[in-house]
Structure 1
Amino acid sequence: MNTTLSKNYEPGQVEESWYAHWEQKGYFRSKPDGRPPFTVVIPPPNVTGVLHMGHTLNETVQDVLVRHARMSGFNACWVPGSDHASIATEAKVVQMLEKEKGIKKSELSRPEFMKYAFEWKEKYGGIIYHQIKKLGCSVDWDRVSFTMDDHYYAAVIKVFVDLYEKGLIYRGARMINWDPSAQTALSDEEVEYRDIQGHLYYVRYQVTGTDEYITIATQRPETIMGDTAVCVNPTDERYAHLKGKTIIVPLVNREVPIIFDEYVDPAFGTGALKVTPAHDINDYNLGLKHGLPTIDTLNADGTLSAAAQVFVGMDRFEARKAAVAQLRAEGSLVKEEEYSTRLGFSQRTNAVVEPRISTQWFVQMRHFADLALEAVTSGEVKIHPEERFLATYKYWLENIKDWCISRQLWWGQRIPAWYDADGKFVVAATADEAIAKFKEQHNIDHSPLTIRQDEDVLDTWFSSWLWPIEVFNGITQPGNPDINYYYPTNVLVTGQDIIFFWVARMIMAGQEYKNQRPFEHVYFTGMVRDKQGRKMSKSLGNSPDLLDLIDRFGADAVRFGILISSPAGNDLLFDDSSCEQGRNFNNKLWNALKLVKMWEGRQATDGSIADSRLPFAVEWFGQRLAQVKAQVEDLYKGFRLSEALKTVYSLIWDDFCSWYLEWVKPGFEQPIDNAVYAKTIEYFSELMQLLHPFMPFITEEIYHQLAERTDDLCVKQFTKGAPADASVLAQGSLLQDAISALRDARVKNNLKPKDPVTASIQTDARSQFAPIAAILGKQVNAEVQFVDDAVPGAITVVLGTQKFYLSSEQAVDTGVQKEQLLKDLEYHRGFLASVEKKLGNERFVANAKPDVVDAERKKKKDAEEKIEAIEKSLALLG
């Protein structure tokens, strides 16, 4: 404990030492014991960079919940880790190799590339973990997990084999989403649709052997070379005479049939549709229905293939320009016009996604969707805030599609499928198991058998859906002590943008492999946006660097700043000013500490000081503290953490610093009552305990500065006290209101704070004022007395039904008083009129709940009493 306190709080001097102390004490480590567990698994950040402000919010919320649980008697276990993020990380590694080493991926073997990828993981995983420590997160560092750890890899492979053997995984050629930049398949959920301004091109196709043309409207003229039909509606009389005819595809002069199908809307565009089965899901389905050939005119990298016949090797968007130019030159382009459309982009690379027919691995999702839907609709898993996300969750699961889980990458868990020279395959965890299955399933008895493993890896989400289970080795070592103790976890804190990618799928995996939910609660944080409302991103350059913020403001101030801005489940606007508010709060706490430390050694040595104001001040704040403790516990239960922080902030800033410390502060160089000093230290310590989950560093520091300690706040247990005394709280509120009103009256009447005055109280409830009269007099520098009648010539202050009269030797301008009283009278008359109107509404009185009607009647009575008191005061002024 330092004996000399700095002028302002210096976070850099205390944060690192306290975190090291907590780690050295092992406070964050968890082992199964007799206490109830409180388990949280960190949403593993991708090893593609550093934590952004969304992570900062997420980790802070989790730390608040974990610290609160640890201090509430739970065995808190918070598991940290990171995700390999196959598409994003491979793209970053490929860019790094080309930029820094001049190496292309194609020049490396798979093992060589994996070596560089793991080096990337070590570098950026280390940065992420350093940031988590700097933020003060109380994670169990002995349990760090990575989705490519050996045991985790084995778990993913085990699950794949199991689901395949259950018939829930299959391999087939389907129309999928293709990312030409990453050159891999994507699931439907990895495609982000945006409204863009494009062009619609009207192209005429000649009916074979005639001078007649059909005009087609298309957004993608570069796919014309893949057309294998033109389709019209069978009810469309404009085209009825063309049944059985063919048509010539421009650019490639291919003769294709004119087909008829109800799918085409005669009223849309020209009523005729070009059918390109290889490049549109609806066209693909039409092609299957009508037996049309499929011509894939695109290569994996988005350039035109040899099948296109023209513009071969040209990028798809350059080919679009070339196709338009040639169509125009041939006289086939009728017109072009601007057109608003929705286009799919890869969430990982931002490339425009291409529909493509490809042989991939899929999970049948109806079985899993039913499991995940039941878990939430039954209330087994509770979503917070429910009103925002439950309907969306249900809609997605009710309309789910099969999940494409194969990715054409090297970084990730390699699909455990094995092929022989003829293309036959088996699914097995190892090559030896595969050979045994080949011999069993295909009656192969010769040896040796040459097989090769599938080149693709699994979708990242196929590994992360096992996260709450396999961080405790629940797949690879089912029934081990950790999985039995810590699973299911208590709460998952995550962003709303991965409700389907991750949350729903973890519920599916939990139900499938543990036959129970993976967590009891899901708390969705909002998106972090800048003060202009834009989502924070590196591309916009509007996302601050976390370590820079911590260096400038301190970790506690950053935690305060992001939480105070964060209403439950809603997006939040964040800028540095909220961190400045946190820093100011730190300094407020520090100044309060310095004030209280000034009283140390100034306690009265000859017993308690006879001061009638002290017992009430001490009792009132004790009741106020009890009230807020109960409120904060309720807010924790509802995951309303921003409100909880604001409640504690107000208790400390307003009630403790602005009121309580002022009420008990001794006069200049006077000693302080022993009992009051002891209680003040006790209250300050309890406030730091209440605030600790939100701002752990400064609270631990102040806790130890207040007194010599043998314990640490980090693990100090909360205690439950008796409910707050409402009558004492009401007296405290009355005292605060009276002080504010009388100080305001002094200012308005030009009475300086040092000018002595007499405060006469006219009230029917003298017993309420008796315990607080001494504090009131000291706070407004007045001699307090009670009177039965109005005091002529005094300044009149009406507070509810109470009246105060300030008398001074100085002359008082009654005009100022009268003006204020008239304003108050006008306000209360207007308020009374609005209440009477509501009570005069028969429908309201008949339909409203009785307690609501009673409340309105009470408002009416109170307003009438206030009006009567003001009118009497005005009468005295003449």
Structure 2
Amino acid sequence: MEKAYDPKSIEQNLYKTWEESDYFSPKGGDDSYCIMIPPPNVTGSLHMGHAFQHTIMDALTRYHRMKGDNTLWQPGSDHAGIATQMVVERLLDKEGKSRHDLGREAFIDKVWEWKEESGGTISRQMRRLGDSCDWSREAFTMDDDLSNAVLEVFVRLHEEGLIYRGQRLVNWDPKLLTAVSDLEVESHEEDGHLWHLKYPLSDGSGHLVVATTRPETMLGDTAVAVHPEDERYQHLIGKTIKLPLTDREIPIIADDYVEKDFGSGCVKITPAHDFNDYEMGQRHNLEMINILTPTAHISDAAPEAYRGMDRYEARKKIVEDFEQLGLLEKIEPHKLKVPRGDRSGVVIEPYLTDQWYVKIAPLAEPALKAVKDGDIKFVPDNWSNTYYHWMENIQDWCISRQLWWGHQIPAWYDKDDNVYVGRSEEEVRQKHNLGDIELRRDEDVLDTWFSSALWPFATLGWPQETPELKTFLPTSVLVTGFDIIFFWVARMIMMGLKFTGEVPFKEIYITGLIRDEHGQKMSKSKGNVLDPIDIIDGIDIDSLVAKRTTGMMNPKDAEKVSKRTRKQFPEGIAPYGTDAMRFTFCAMASTSRDINFDLNRVEGYRNFCNKIWNAARYVLMNTEEQDTGVNGGEITLSVADRWIQSELQKTITEYEKAIVNYRFDLASNALYEFTWNTYCDWYLELSKPILYGDEYSEAEKRGTRHTLVSVLESLMRLLHPFMPFITEEIWQRVAPLTGINTKEQTSIMLQPFPEVQTNLVDEQSDQDIEWLKKIIVGVRNIRGEMNIAPGKPLTVLFRNGSEQDKTRLESYQNFLSKLAKLESIEWLQAGQEAPMSATALAGKMEILIPMAGLIDVEQEMARLNKEKEKLGKEQQRISGKLSNKNFTDKAPEAVVNKEKEKLEDIESTLSKVAEQMKQLESL
């Protein structure tokens, strides 16, 4: 093996071998395991949320593949109607063209051309992550077979009366000229105004005051509403108002929706331009007047004076006209939530238009029951309450979009606007005996969520009864975020039950949202966005430090980060590799809603990879071309050999329990603890006295070599789902030493996952090694506290121990001497006086190290005084900072907490220094 671990030299070559060898396709026993990838947008690139969720999905896939399940991870991407159309339209704009210049057919050809050339970015990045998808089955929502499934679902739902065309209010993007879903609308608080307008009563007896943030909509008012129990206005209910600037009279109505204590208690009702007003309009059978055009200009339904004006131009003129009429009471500054299109950036309008809808209630009822009955389980379970709330208040689903790219709605119209739905124009003509009359096809396309709702079964071949459909449906688990439970998860459940009679998945694992290390949402404007591929390949250190600070780390701390990182990566680029990043994601995958991604942890797990690599090099140097017991020969296991095998069984048990409960953080912690502390720090050290000592027999040496390679080989299989690359590389070298023929058993991912062997759990060896560790740690702590050189041989005295302590001391004296660097060991008899010593405890047994001649007391006292003074100044500085209200009130909570942690560490260290000085004074 190479001396240093270099992820770049192994990762891409290994992945290429895996893919070319068809390791990712379903294989295995009767039990199937299937995960459907949430299809990323074809326009997209891998962000931290993708990388996090893909790591979880791949870990599950690799784990179940090794468990012998017939495993499929289905990859694919979504055609992303609006996003993709915008990308291609921008490219055309650079050529001075628009889609209308090309025409629909030529434009769609252009989109397909772009997709073939540039649409595979995320698939390439998934390979860099080590995703073990079955790429031979890669799907795209606009593929012919998936498009046919979309067509079939639409036609069947329409035939059952569950799809209809109707005029309702939608989110309308005046720039993109299409309806958009709630998920494509971002509402942010902005500065605005509240205009208080006077509406005169028709009988001339006075006026009512209404307040609005959108004065231009008053042109479409069809009522003023008051609360039915508001005594101020009860006598006016049923009367009318003369709507200013128009020649219309509108009624005063009573509705419980109105808050009588808010503002004047009077609310203007514009049913065609406000979702709440729309609902009230339905209840009171109010007229719907659409006063906007699709581009958000004033329509011909408004008075002539305002027609053709932009909505904000009209707003200005209407306010001026109210003021001239003496009907403007006041204008107040007002903070309000403004809905903007996430892609266009323009303010979204509630807009009355004809669209296609799915009648959702009949589909929602069985989908709700499936979760309540336990056929589908949310993890964590609290998300089921969110699901219930949405499903119990569900509205019909607007599925049409005014785009060209997407699944065109299979509906045709005759000259009288009669609508006919079918799988093709030919089918429509035959079914309705239309002969040769002229038909025009609906120009709208379907919402992309409609096609992705079919993803779990359409990708398996539905509506055909394919073997894959039979084998893998229901799928095992859906890994997704909480933000699309309604938009995607709920719709997949509804469609799956409707068209296959099966739930689409048995469990839904809802992951948290990845934030930066300070708990801030990652955004380009904040400069804290991380690219997962940069983390893998290498981030420029100056850029890395800038991303970490984002104005929240002081310059001195930033400089320290830079120096530390440059020491590790002298070339100025910090490549962490895929395995370090993946393990970080797994270690952070708790049940929290928000997950703070800390680059310090990636650095830590990069060091973890180094630790594994160096451990493997040590094992190979001591076992390659040596007898590891695979060809027969007597094997004698030491207490350390029995102990490490026992600890391995406990780790497997802990890991399996965590994985079943989707606690990847607990599984990671168990693996890390066993690998770093138990195997590398303790067992490898315990193996050295046996391997290098003349007092041990060949059977004992063979036993230790056998244990070194067998435990390392099992450990690589345990780690593989989380860290696929480094484990494959090491396994290929270690496996032959355990008797595995790697030419026949070609990859670690095709090996069985380690199973617990209860016969190897050895409580006695566990207790004996814990006893040894306490003594060794006690001696090492005394060395550290008294500043004694690590290699200086020591005399150690024992006192107050049991007969079992004495027996263990006799049995394991060689381990103690070698690992604690002892030159002599003496057991003090009862009543025997000990010289002046530093002490530690192992249970009730005292460990004493005589100090005479070991240290210069005067010199050590001077050193400790100097350290105490330095720590005291730092304690004073941080205490002053934390007592400063300007700092604690204005700094982010994470930064304040970090300073508190620093203070606690300093106070703890000062306490230890004081204890050391007290010990020195007694010498």
Could you tell me the TM-score, scaled by structure 2's length? Answer: 0.81
| Structure-2 separation of matches of 1:167 and 1:86 | 26
Change (3 A) 1:763 1:456: same
Could you say what secondary structure the match of 2:638 adopts? helix
- Cα distance in 2 for residues equivalent to 1:690 and 1:341: 53
Q: Which residue of 2 aligns with 1:454?
A: 442
1:805 and 2:881 matched: no
Alpha-carbon distance in structure 2 between the residues aligned to 1:623 and 1:146: 48
| Matched AA of 2:783 | R
| Cα drift, residue 348 of structure 1 | 5.1
Q: Which residue does 2:20 correspond to in 1?
A: 24
How far 1:679 moved relative to its partner?
1.8
Matched, 1:792 2:786: no
Q: Which residue of 1 aligns with 2:396?
A: 402
- The CA distance in 1 between the partners of 2:851 and 2:525, in whole Å, is 66
Equivalent in 225, 247, 258 of residue 219 of structure 2 = 225
Structure 1 residue aligned with 2:312:
317
Match of 1:168 in 2: 162
Q: Does 1:677 align with 2:717?
A: no
- Written as runs of structure 1 = structure 2, the 5 A alignment for 1:220-299 is 220-233=214-227, 236=230, 238-239=232-233, 246-250=240-244, 252-263=245-256, 264-299=258-293
Between stretches 525-534 and 144-153, larger displacement belongs to 525-534
Aligned with 1:28: secondary structure? coil
The residue that corresponds to 2:796 in the other structure is: 758
Cα distance between partner residues in 2 of 1:791 and 1:393:
73
C-alpha distance in 1, partners of 2:15/2:237? Answer: 79
Match of 1:593 among 609, 616, 621: 616
Residues 457 and 811 (structure 1), Cα distance of their counterparts in 2 relative to 1, 3 Å cut: closer
Q: What is the CA distance between 1:494 and its match in structure 2? A: 1.1
Task: State the partner residue of 1:9.
Answer: 5
**Paired position in structure 1 for 2:120:** 126
| Cα contact 2:10–2:725 (8 A) shared by 1 | yes
**Are the aligned partners of 2:238 and 2:253 in contact in 1 as well (CA < 8 Å)?**
no
Whether contact under 8 Å (1:414, 1:454) holds in the other structure is yes
For the 8 Å contact 1:527–1:571, the answer to whether it is kept is: yes
> In the alignment, does 2:45 pair up with 1:45?
no
Deviation at 1:777, TM superposition (A): 2.8
Amino acid across the alignment from 1:436: Q
Q: 2-side partners of 1:420 and 1:738: how far apart?
A: 92
Change (3 A) 1:102 1:732: farther
- Residue 545 of structure 1: how far off its partner (Å): 2.3
| Change beyond 3 A, Cα 1:752–1:265 | closer
Do the aligned residues in 2 keep the contact of 1:621 with 1:660 (CA within 8 Å)? yes
Q: Distance in 2 between matches of 1:109 and 1:154?
A: 24
1:341-389 CA distance string (max 9 Å, x none)? 44444455454332222221111222222212111121111111113x1
How many angstroms does 1:60 deviate by? 0.8
Deviation of 1:109 after TM superposition, in Å, equals: 1.3
Change over 3 Å in CA distance of 1:313–1:788 after alignment to 2 = farther
Equivalent residue for 1:645? 668
| Structure 1 residue 575, shift from structure 2 partner | 4.0
Indicate if the aligned counterparts of 2:357 and 2:397 stay in contact, CA closer than 8 A: yes
Change in Cα spacing, 1:189 to 1:363, as seen in structure 2 (3 Å) is farther
Residue among 125, 130, 135 paired with 1:136: 130
Whole-angstrom distance in 2 between the partners of 1:239 and 1:624: 78
Q: How far apart are the structure 1 equivalents of 2:386 and 2:829?
A: 65
Please state whether the residue corresponding to 1:491 is helix, strand or coil.
strand
Q: Deviations over 1:62-104 (max 9, x none)?
A: 1101111111111211111000121222233323322x32222
Residues 647-674 of structure 1, C-alpha deviations (whole Å, 9 max, x = no match):
1112111111111111112599778923
Q: Deviations over 1:699-736 (max 9, x none)?
A: 11112233644332121112423232333323333322
Change (3 A) 1:148 1:812: closer
2-side partners of 1:243 and 1:126: how far apart? 62
Which is further off, 636-645 or 203-212?
A: 203-212
1:846 equivalent in structure 2: none
Q: Are positions 1:522 and 2:472 aligned together?
A: no
Partner Cα separation in structure 2 for residue 293 and residue 497 of structure 1 = 36
In the alignment, residue 460 of structure 1 is paired with which amino acid?
T
Which letter does structure 1 place at the counterpart of 2:529? Answer: S
Could you tell me which residue of structure 1 aligns to residue 756 of structure 2? 721
Letter in 2 for 1:803: E
Q: Counterparts of 1:517-666 in structure 2 under 5 Å?
A: 517-538=503-524, 540-552=526-538, 553-600=576-623, 615-666=638-689
* Corresponding residue SS for 1:634: helix
Structure 2 CA distance for partners of 1:292 and 1:769, relative to 1, 3 Å: same
Q: Partners of 1:297 and 1:148 in 2: how far apart?
A: 37
**Equivalent residue, structure 2, for 1:411:** 405
**Residue 377 of structure 1 pairs with residue 390 of structure 2:** no
Distance 1:239 1:596, change over 3 A: closer
SS in 1 for 2:705: helix
Quote the offset at 1:630 in angstroms. 1.0
Deviation at 1:413, TM superposition (A): 0.9
d(CA) in 2 for partners of 1:725 and 1:667?
A: 20
Separation (CA, whole Å) in 1 of partners of 2:453 and 2:232:
53
- Equivalents in 1 of 2:811, 2:442: separation in Å? 83
- Any idea what SS the aligned residue of 1:254 has? coil
Matched residue type, 1:805? L
CA RMSD of aligned residues (A): 3.1
In 1, the alpha carbon distance for the partners of 2:226 and 2:72 equals: 63
Matched, 1:82 2:77: yes
Relative to 1, partners in 2 of residues 1:638 and 1:239: Cα closer, same or farther, differing over 3 Å? closer
Asked if the contact 2:200/2:242 (under 8 Å) is kept, the reply is: yes
Unmatched segments (≥5 aa) in structure 2: 539-575, 630-634, 737-741, 862-918
TM-score normalised by the chain length of structure 1? 0.85
Are the equivalent residues in 1 in contact too, given 2:243–2:250 (CA < 8 A)? no
Structure 2 SS opposite 1:38: strand
| Alpha-carbon separation, structure 2, partners of 1:257 and 1:601 | 93
Q: How far 1:438 sits from its partner (Å)?
A: 2.4
Instruction: State the secondary structure of the residue aligned to 1:352.
Output: coil
Instruction: Flag the 1:569–1:106 CA change in 2: closer, same or farther, 3 A.
Output: farther
**Secondary structure of 2:169's match?**
strand
Q: In percent, how many aligned pairs have the same letter?
A: 40
How far apart are the structure 1 equivalents of 2:168 and 2:636? 81
Amino acid at match of 2:148: A
Q: Structure 2: which amino acid aligns with 1:657?
A: C
- Secondary structure of the residue aligned to 1:738 is helix
Quick one: structure 1 residues 262 and 748, their matched pair in 2 at CA, closer, same or farther if it must change by over 3 Å? closer
SS of 1:9 mapped into structure 2: coil
**Aligned mates of 1:668, 1:232 — CA distance in 2:** 90
**Residue pairs, 1:316-395, within 5 angstroms:** 316-347=311-342, 349-387=344-382, 389-395=383-389
Distance change >3 Å, CA 62–CA 510, structure 1 → 2: same
- Displacement of 1:638: 0.6
> For residue 779 of structure 1, what is the amino acid of its counterpart?
L
How big is each residue's C-alpha offset from its partner over 1:613-669, in whole Å with a ceiling of 9 and x where there is no partner? 971111111111111011101111011112212211121111111111111125997
